[in-house]
Structure 1
Amino acid sequence: MNKTELLQQVLKRLEDDHLQAQQAALTAYETATAKENIAENKYDTLGLEASYLATGQARRAAAIRQTLANWKQLVLRSIDSQLGIQLGALIALSDDEDRHQCLFLGPDGASMKLQQDGQTVQVIGPQAPLGQLLLGKGVGDEITLRVASGVQLLEILSVD
């Protein structure tokens, strides 16, 4: 797997999400400020509701823009055995039933699934419960993740 290509996929998805959020905010703003949506009485709230929606969409766009900026600053490095897993790591895990999963650890705000080489890669951040457990760990380490259905034991198979 290629971390640089994964990073480019994340950036592309975030850019697309940001553009979509900007367009949604603009549409809601135009609806809120349209002449035909001026309230005629206290029960006519379409303009007010559209303004709330525009504000929410603008905040969403700003949050995505910040996430995108954080991901653009991510420097992909090789694993340092002294530091263990850090941001930018590509991690292969196996559970106690020998099911494998691949994770790409990056800045917060971009939880998504990507495809590369016919394999699914889950993007997580360091604030996610699994991300917190992985920071500083190395190949061969085992971690215990508490999930709604109980406890899941995971082994780190590889880190790139």
Structure 2
Amino acid sequence: MDKLLLQQQVLERLADDLLQVEQAARTAHETATHEENIAENKYDTLGLEAAYLATGQARRAEAIRQAIAHWRQFRPRPYDASQGIQLGALVCLVDADDKQQHLFLGPDGGSMQLVSGAQLVQVISGASPLGSAMLGKCEGDEVSLEVAQIRQQFEVLRVD
């Protein structure tokens, strides 16, 4: 799998997300400031609700802009077994049921699935519970984390 190609896919997806969020923020702002949505009484809150939505969308847009900046500056390096898994690693984990999952450990804006060839690759950040549990691990190591009081265990099958 080509890490630079995956990085480009992440940037394209984030750019698409940013366009959608900016459009939603504009729409919410227009709704909030439209003359027909001026409150006529204390129960008429459409304009106020739209203003809250516009503020939330603007914050989300800023978070996406920051993620784009982090991904643009990011330079994935080849895997170095002496350091173990670091940001930029492509990791194949296997669980107790022999189910494999392919992960690309990135700087920010994770939780998206990409396709590389015929392979699904989940992008996660180093700050995520699984991402932080993998940092420093090597091929053959066990990764363990607890989610909702359920312990999950994986073996690091491959790292690129």
> Same fold judged by TM-score > 0.5?
yes
Structure 1 unaligned blocks of 5 or more: none
The two structures, once aligned, show a CA RMSD in angstroms of 1.5
Q: Kindly indicate whether residue 7 of structure 2 is the aligned counterpart of residue 2 of structure 1.
A: no
Residue 102 of structure 1 corresponds to which residue in structure 2? Answer: 102
Distance 1:52 1:116 in 2: 39
Amino acid at match of 1:94: V
1:58 is matched with which residue?
58
1:46 aligns with 2:49: no
- For residue 94 of structure 2, what is the amino acid of its counterpart? S
> Identity of aligned pairs, percent?
62
Gaps of 5+ in 2: none
The separation in 2 between residues aligned to 1:147 and 1:35, in whole angstroms, is 48
Kindly tell me: are residues 52 and 88 of structure 1, through their superposed partners in 2, closer, same or farther at Cα, counting changes over 3 Å?
same
Whether contact under 8 Å (1:89, 1:105) holds in the other structure is yes
Deviation at 1:40, TM superposition (A): 2.1
What do residues 87-111 of structure 1 show as CA deviations (whole Å, max 9, x unaligned)? 1110111122222110000013321
Instruction: Give the deviation of 1:19 after TM superposition.
Output: 0.8
Tell me how far apart the structure 1 counterparts of residues 43 and 94 of structure 2 sit (CA, whole Å). Answer: 58
TM superposition score normalised by structure 1: 0.92
Q: Show the counterpart of 1:18.
A: 18
CA distance in 2, matches of 1:130, 1:44: 45
Runs (4+) of structure 1 moved beyond 6 Å? none
Structure 2 length as normaliser, TM-score?
0.92
- Which residue identity does 1:80 align to in structure 2? D
Aligned residues: 160
